[in-house]
Structure 1
Amino acid sequence: MRPHLFFIAAAALVCACSEDSSSGEEPVQEGTCALEDETSRPGFLFRLGCQKDFNALASEPLDTSIPGARSVKVVLDQFDNDTLYFQNSTEYAIHYEFVSANLSGAGKPLVGSLADFNQTEYYAPGRRFLLGSVTYYEGPDVWALEIAPYDTASAAMVTQLYDAIRKAGFFGPALFFHPTSQAVEAEAKKLAASVPVKTTAELFAAIDYQPLNLAASVGRLRFITADELDQTYLSYRDMVVLDRVPNDISVVLGIITEEFQTPLSHVNVLSQNRKTPNMGLRNATANASLRALDGKWVRLTVGAFNWSIEEVTSTEADAYWEAHKPKPVQLPTADRTVKDLRDLEQVVTEGSSSLRDAIKSAIPAFGGKAAHYSVLANTPGLPVRKAFAVPAGYYVQFMEENGFYERLDQLLADPEFQQKPAVRDARLKEFRKAMEAAPVNAEFQALLKAKLATDYPGLTMRFRTSTNSEDLEGFPCAGCYESHTGDPSDWEDVLDAIRETWASIWLFRTFEERAYSSIDHKSVVMALLVHHNFPDEEANGVALTANPFDPSGLQPGLYVNVQAGGDAEVVHPPPGITSDQFIYEFHQPGLPITYLSHSNLVNDGETVLTPSQVFELGKALDAIHERFSPAYGPRAGNTGWYAMDVEFKFDGEPGQIPTLTVKQARPHPGRGQ
């Protein structure tokens, strides 16, 4: 069992609080310690008399999104006169390890296998043990009893465990019960007033610090508002303090936002790609420690439980940059020879080579997005839209026939372009405008017209970017490029969509992102992933196929961020708009869901997805995780973090029940160290 609180921008969760919560508001008074000091760490204690006793047995939570939290697991043995054990949670990481080592045999019933234990002790009404943990949340100064999100313990069982812990712990008068999932929350509503409840939303509201990407870096600290970003040019070596989460930001070495973020927010994904620190801090723009360092060189460290910032000299800053500036990224060499408009099932050829090598072989001609989509299209039972790919050779043809490579050479050789961000931005806009007005090869147009008329008659089409510089290990570049929709009934509309999509290679922020990684800009080519668009989807979302807050892997889950259909985006919504965010423990009996926030675009008490849709999504995410494991996961020898970053939609024709469609999947870089 572990703490199950995740710090993300959250709408208030359903409160299961009793009206009388006085017992949880009483002050903590330490008594006589059972241990002489914290260095003495027995396997368990029957009582915790003081903070030192708690500290001696406590472990850092597996959920590293909770800064300052510590937990001690508890076991109540109903066979042995309701004896309560506070187990050494560092020595015994899970309940089973403790009970099998200490409470099995020698006059007590034998404890069977781990599978039998889990099935009985978390689900059976006649279980022998009541299991939970006592967690201290430092930020809100709350002591909380928690049970596993999938534990089916009744209100009576929770009360029995709560009462025993309250009597045996020095924190007893201040103890709350914290529900860790929808199912536990529903059962908590049956608790008597003597068991006060503290919800996730209430705990979250008292937290000031949100670690997002764990890293350290050195840069010049700058205060800026999100609204000013469009008119401000930032340096690679800047660190920024922002009032709210921006939709986009150019390359910087660190980010602090006053508004808390979602783990899949655009700026956090960028920070993960760059391996730079990112954090949320309430009232950051008024923080005295930060304000005192405005304009100075600083070292910012974002840790799992705390953060620090200190001034450094310009000499130290320069030395840091030279030692830590990104290593040049070498893109896959473009294959300009492929000219057929290829159905996605045929883009990645699996066979004698590994899946990883097969994907890499497809990228030079079709880009990262189309290559990964091809694997999805060849995964049995996975719902994806029929699609085809326009190879990158047609982008190269367009650039060559219109003299854009020569024009690009002139830009890159211009010192003013290289040295002045404002000039660079203006010239790139002119370059894109010229691309958007240039003619497209007539033979290519004829080939594309025939393909759309034969295979996609009467459908509007989405032309999606698929370059050799995105969705890659080492350079995901999520959100770097822009896709567009065209209607074949108006052919010029299709050409506009294609040219605007190709031109997005030369967006200012995308150019800066590549320059930061010393990428040869002329080596970038763009294929197109083409399918019928989603004009009126009922829901859209992003998900990770693993739990980003559980690096240990002991509490696996799927992380989902989903919003009701409409104009509000998921990863960078308008200010004040929240989405449904939850952890779905797909492999646990009962399929528990822990909602971290709720969408404020649906009615109170409702969720964006129905339970059947959540289950449909869970099956797909599980299949994707397993499918790409031979390329990026354990089956490829990866013993560290592994998750696929997945985009999805729920869409249906009028009168039909919306069903799932998977849009794309790419390897996720993880949360830092």
Structure 2
Amino acid sequence: MTGFLARPRAGAEQAEADAQRTELTAVEPQSRARGLLGTVEEDPTILARPVPHPAPLVPHPREVSALPLAIEELDTADDFAAISTVAGDLVANGRVAKFLIDRRDAAAPVVRFVNGNYTQNGRTPDAAKYHYYFAQVAYGIPESLDEFNSVTYFTQDKRYIAGTLRTYQLSDSPDPVYGLQFYPQDLIREELVVEAITLLMAKIPIAGARFAFVPTGSQQTTATVADRLADLGAPVLPIDRILDGIRYIPLNTGEAWGYLRIFPPDNDDLSPSDIPVFDELPLDLSVVAGVLTHAVQDTNSHVNLKSKERKTPNAVLRDAARDNPRLAPFADQPVHFVVGKDDFTLEATTDEIVRAKLAEKLSAPLTTLTWQPETALRSFTELASGTPQAAKAAAQRYGSKAANLGFLAHRTVLGRVMDATSPSGTRGYDLVPQGFAVPLQAYQDFIDHPPNSDVKALIDAFVKDEQAGMLAPKQRVRRVEEIQDGIMAASFPPGALEAVRAKLEEVLPGVKKVKVRSSANAEDVKGFDGAGLYDSYAADTTKRDRPIGPCMVEEEDGGDGEVKRKIKPKSVGCAIKGVYASLWNKRAVEERSFARIDQTSIAMGLAILPVYDAESEVAANAVIVTRVLNTDDVYGYSLSVQVGNNLVTNPDPGTYSEVTVAGFYGDDEPMSLSITRFAKPRPDAPQRTEPVLPTERMLELVDLAKRVERAYCRATPGYFDGGCANVAGANGEEKENSLDLEVKILENGHLVMKQVREFGGR
């Protein structure tokens, strides 16, 4: 939230901010005390109360710049609009203005609001962005930045109280709710919340306005004062209730041209020029121009993350329906669709424009993926034996998924149990599963094996037609099914399957149940994560492959509308064929075509490891994205957690995960956990009212993710320009890319790091 406050950094970041202030003030009067932006004596309007004026919702810049920096009182909604800025946090609609309360004289506290639109010489100074620099100007405070943070955020005995006034547009009324809120790590609670809200409400006499206290961290408790807050006219309004009450939630802003398909009957008929409106987001969704859903989406699901990475607009519309007056007139018509922060728009366009826009997207030159020949099968521990950079570089031979497991197993990242000081060593078990990688070359050798020449011919002909744009959707489906059937009936080159079985005996002796996972070169690469495109299959190492007869994939009803794919027979060889065949899934082909990847350059590596529940049942699944999704100025990570083995990335229909923002800035500050939605583990059960995991376990997940991201940054030139020590605490504006980690939590308390990939979306 922007109650998830923007704050200046200490250390190197403070020096940079100091340099920026020096540049700002070079042509301005110098304050005697600070040399910053001018004192009250130099600018007599700086503490002036705004004169009521009819400001529009988004005020004209000239009106904004005429107002002072520090505002005593907000009499009207226009006053708030004039000093507020567009919110850039979890809830896209609304505006925000900061406030700061000076409590140094407890008997006479002083409240001031920050004019976020204040400018000097055409620029917005730090004093209009950050509480600390505002306090220097407005209150002449003597504290250093570190001391200010300590006495403002991390104590109940506060000298200053910093927070934001933020509007939320809920579906129950055309009038906004004004949320009073504090930085997520702020330790403010109970009586001090009442004191702050009392002072603030006296300074915001906006007639008829609705107010609420919005706790942004779990430590901001109000158990003993909730009734008093309600009596003040600011009842407690948790973030999850705000999100539940919002009619429209943009998940990825942008625009698209296509045909509006309201609740399409067959998702396989959708094309890249369609804009479907779904009741609920399907698990497998091919490339489309944009998406609207009636149901809440899991923000960390594969489909949403892919929408962000390929920059297709995606939003939730709670009243989406066939007869929705904003949708119905455009059913099956060509439209221009825009997902904005506050709302979406639809307007009529033409068939010609839709075709032209799609052609424009598909006109970029093809990107050829490179990979290197390799014959050796290597364990993840072997991949981790060199440097972290070398482990990551193994992606050129084994694909990124397998290489990244080697990276995670490195002693300076998560390590092995034998690395005494590593996270695995201190816990007494391996956080990264044992297992091994099968190189990309093994797939190519399989396809090039002379008895499989008919499969190779099918692939070559298909790729030629696909890249020439000659295939209609139903033709594409038929052709990829032919390729997949051919792969399932094909034979391995001499010695290939025997080499896999020998490596199983070496690395996983006695392990009966294994998982054969995809590790394609067209997966987990920069600009194309390939999340959820390919299949993984469980196998029984005691089952021998049939010398004659094809392998088969059977689809079983997993209940609640979910479809489970299983390999038959459940042998290692059939599981490998199943993963190889998944390289040619319809959705994978379409995603690669849309991303302009040369499909003559793709290959499939493998990561083979024990099934995740081999030692204990799965208690929960978690996905951690090392940024706060859908925001620019929020510091922290996004976590999605679900009960049991219901995946966050591909949730069962009718279910959704718990979504939590872990707010933090530096390792020396407390971390907050703000649940923005509780989990719904089963479609026939109500939403939970308690977290899936205890606080200690959530903090552990974040700490491990921080360690991984810092190590990844050091091993990846260009990942982050602000110094790898600071990468975990960077916000969305500062960090171009982030990581996507998948974790399983077992009932015996162990964690299993399933994978890590780089994520380029926001």
TM-score (norm 2): 0.77
Q: Which amino acid aligns with 1:629?
A: C
1:469 counterpart = 2:522: yes
Q: Tell me the distance in 2 between the aligned counterparts of 1:425 and 1:266.
A: 22
Q: Which amino acid aligns with 2:109?
A: D
1:648 counterpart = 2:726: no
What are the ranges of 5 or more consecutive residues in structure 1 without an aligned counterpart?
A: 6-31, 105-109
Contact 2:92 2:250 in 1 (8 A): yes
Q: Tell me the distance in 2 between the aligned counterparts of 1:188 and 1:220.
A: 54
The Cα offsets for residues 405-432 of structure 1, whole Å up to 9 and x where unpaired, read as: 1232344567999433223212322321
Shift of 1:462: 1.3
Q: Quick one: which of 282, 307, 315 aligns to 1:279?
A: 315
**Aligned pair in 2 of structure 1 residues 328, 349: CA closer, same or farther (>3 Å)?**
farther
Which residue matches 2:143? 112
Shift of 1:605: 4.8
**Aligned pair in 2 of structure 1 residues 281, 249: CA closer, same or farther (>3 Å)?**
same
Partner of 2:231: helix, strand, or coil?
coil
1:220 counterpart = 2:237: no
Which residue matches 2:95? 70
Q: Tell me the distance in 1 between the aligned counterparts of 2:689 and 2:177.
A: 27
1:320 counterpart = 2:320: no
Shift of 1:281: 1.0
Contact 1:347 1:366 in 2 (8 A): no
Q: Tell me the distance in 1 between the aligned counterparts of 2:631 and 2:133.
A: 19
Contact 2:189 2:219 in 1 (8 A): no
Q: Quick one: which of 392, 397, 400 aligns to 1:368?
A: 400
Contact 1:34 1:49 in 2 (8 A): no
Which residue matches 1:614? 698
Which stretch shifts more, 585-594 or 127-136? Answer: 585-594
Q: Quick one: which of 68, 82, 94 aligns to 2:130?
A: 94
Q: Quick one: which of 70, 76, 82 aligns to 1:56?
A: 82
The correspondence of residues 385-424 of structure 1 with structure 2, limited to 5 A, is 385-401=433-449, 402-403=452-453, 404-412=455-463, 418-424=470-476
Which residue matches 1:234? 270
What are the ranges of 5 or more consecutive residues in structure 2 without an aligned counterpart?
A: 6-48, 56-62, 119-127, 416-421, 424-430, 546-570, 728-733
Q: Tell me the distance in 2 between the aligned counterparts of 1:187 and 1:151.
A: 17
Which residue matches 1:434? 486
**Aligned pair in 2 of structure 1 residues 331, 608: CA closer, same or farther (>3 Å)?**
farther
Which stretch shifts more, 407-416 or 282-291? Answer: 407-416
Contact 2:103 2:109 in 1 (8 A): yes
The Cα offsets for residues 613-662 of structure 1, whole Å up to 9 and x where unpaired, read as: 2122111100111112242521499954221011111125xxxx312221
Q: Which amino acid aligns with 1:405?
A: K
**Aligned pair in 2 of structure 1 residues 179, 579: CA closer, same or farther (>3 Å)?**
same
Q: Tell me the distance in 2 between the aligned counterparts of 1:269 and 1:163.
A: 42
Q: Quick one: which of 621, 625, 638 aligns to 1:559?
A: 638
Q: Which amino acid aligns with 2:488?
A: E
Q: Tell me the distance in 1 between the aligned counterparts of 2:392 and 2:663.
A: 32
The correspondence of residues 458-537 of structure 1 with structure 2, limited to 5 A, is 458-459=510-511, 460-492=513-545, 493-535=571-613, 536-537=617-618
Partner of 1:320: helix, strand, or coil?
helix
Which residue matches 1:633? 719
Shift of 1:494: 0.9
May I ask how many residue pairs the two structures share in their alignment?
A: 624
Contact 2:516 2:575 in 1 (8 A): yes
**Aligned pair in 2 of structure 1 residues 216, 359: CA closer, same or farther (>3 Å)?**
farther
**Aligned pair in 2 of structure 1 residues 417, 204: CA closer, same or farther (>3 Å)?**
closer
Partner of 2:197: helix, strand, or coil?
helix
Q: Tell me the distance in 1 between the aligned counterparts of 2:464 and 2:626.
A: 44
Contact 1:391 1:527 in 2 (8 A): yes
Q: Tell me the distance in 2 between the aligned counterparts of 1:626 and 1:301.
A: 36
**Aligned pair in 2 of structure 1 residues 288, 188: CA closer, same or farther (>3 Å)?**
farther
Q: Which amino acid aligns with 2:79?
A: D
**Aligned pair in 2 of structure 1 residues 572, 171: CA closer, same or farther (>3 Å)?**
farther
Q: Which amino acid aligns with 1:153?
A: I
Contact 1:220 1:238 in 2 (8 A): yes
Q: Quick one: which of 305, 313, 325 aligns to 1:269?
A: 305
1:248 counterpart = 2:284: yes
**Aligned pair in 2 of structure 1 residues 190, 281: CA closer, same or farther (>3 Å)?**
closer
Q: Which amino acid aligns with 2:436?
A: F
Which residue matches 2:673? 593
Q: Quick one: which of 612, 618, 623 aligns to 1:542?
A: 623
Shift of 1:191: 5.2
Partner of 2:475: helix, strand, or coil?
helix
Partner of 2:623: helix, strand, or coil?
strand
Q: Tell me the distance in 2 between the aligned counterparts of 1:188 and 1:582.
A: 25
Q: Which amino acid aligns with 2:620?
A: A
Shift of 1:253: 1.0
1:44 counterpart = 2:82: no
Q: Quick one: which of 502, 517, 536 aligns to 1:450?
A: 502
Shift of 1:54: 0.8
Contact 1:642 1:667 in 2 (8 A): yes
Which stretch shifts more, 298-307 or 340-349? Answer: 340-349
Q: Which amino acid aligns with 2:320?
A: A
Shift of 1:146: 1.0
Q: Tell me the distance in 2 between the aligned counterparts of 1:508 and 1:189.
A: 57
1:129 counterpart = 2:160: yes
The Cα offsets for residues 98-142 of structure 1, whole Å up to 9 and x where unpaired, read as: 1122212xxxxx431111111111122332222222212133521
Contact 2:240 2:678 in 1 (8 A): no
Q: Tell me the distance in 2 between the aligned counterparts of 1:279 and 1:98.
A: 36
- Percent identity between matched residues is 27
Shift of 1:531: 1.3
**Structure having greater relative contact order (Cα 8 Å, sep ≥ 6):** 1
**Aligned pair in 2 of structure 1 residues 296, 417: CA closer, same or farther (>3 Å)?**
closer
**Aligned pair in 2 of structure 1 residues 115, 518: CA closer, same or farther (>3 Å)?**
same
The Cα offsets for residues 357-399 of structure 1, whole Å up to 9 and x where unpaired, read as: x577433321121222222121243521122111111111111
Q: Tell me the distance in 2 between the aligned counterparts of 1:99 and 1:393.
A: 62
Which residue matches 1:34? 51
Which residue matches 1:149? 184
Q: Which amino acid aligns with 1:154?
A: R
1:309 counterpart = 2:346: yes
Partner of 1:561: helix, strand, or coil?
strand
**Aligned pair in 2 of structure 1 residues 549, 496: CA closer, same or farther (>3 Å)?**
same
Q: Which amino acid aligns with 2:639?
A: V
Q: Tell me the distance in 2 between the aligned counterparts of 1:386 and 1:52.
A: 61
Which residue matches 1:12? none
Partner of 1:447: helix, strand, or coil?
helix
Q: Which amino acid aligns with 2:91?
A: I
Partner of 1:373: helix, strand, or coil?
helix
Shift of 1:482: 0.5
Which stretch shifts more, 71-80 or 241-250? Answer: 71-80
Which stretch shifts more, 495-504 or 237-246? Answer: 237-246
Shift of 1:90: 4.0
Partner of 1:309: helix, strand, or coil?
strand
**Aligned pair in 2 of structure 1 residues 605, 279: CA closer, same or farther (>3 Å)?**
closer
Which stretch shifts more, 213-222 or 579-588? Answer: 579-588
Q: Quick one: which of 644, 650, 665 aligns to 2:756?
A: 665
Q: Quick one: which of 196, 199, 203 aligns to 1:168?
A: 203
Q: Which amino acid aligns with 2:243?
A: F
**Aligned pair in 2 of structure 1 residues 188, 254: CA closer, same or farther (>3 Å)?**
farther
Contact 1:218 1:298 in 2 (8 A): yes
Which residue matches 1:14? none
Contact 1:345 1:375 in 2 (8 A): no
Partner of 1:482: helix, strand, or coil?
coil
Contact 2:263 2:277 in 1 (8 A): yes
Shift of 1:557: 1.0
